Amino acid sequence: MGKLRRGRRLAVLALGAFVLLAGCSESNTDRANRMGKLLMESGFRALNADTPKRAQRLNEMTPLKVAAGTRKGKPAYWMADPYACQCLWVGNQKDYNEYLQLKNAEAADSNSAAVDQTRYDEFVANPANESFFGD
């Protein structure tokens, strides 16, 4: 009888831990908003995927991962966000360096990189219309 109770207790504890951890996981939209705030504060610009071609290109990119390359012979960085702003965040080397500093500060203190939600919402609601999508 004792082994059965102990087994049930372990099963209940394991299930409880799983539910707790699952409840703490961050959704794609939450992650996109968190990363978007850091990118905005770092100087990145949000380019709206406002045409079918841009939307298709955005959806072909790896979402929520800052990528690096060159644009016009200079380092360029971007992150596709199909979840929160349906935009492409783009920045230069200076912007990326600032992003890394803010990201590290956020990891050390989750409140250090907080940006007012209203300011962020307004920023992504009015993205730049520059062509970074190749159109």
pLDDT higher than threshold 70 for residue 113: no
* Residue keyed to tokens 């794609």: 28
| Higher-confidence position of 104 and 117 | 104
Three-point CA angle 119, 53, 39, nearest 5°? 30
Q: Could you read off the pLDDT of 28-83 as tens digits, one per residue?
A: 999 999 999 999 999 999 999 999 999 999 999 999 999 999 999 999 999 999 99
- Beta-carbon count within 10 A of 120 CB: 19
In this prediction the pTM is 0.67
Is 105 within 8 Å of 38 (Cβ atoms)?
Answer: no
Residues 39 and 94: their CA atoms lie apart, in Å, by: 12
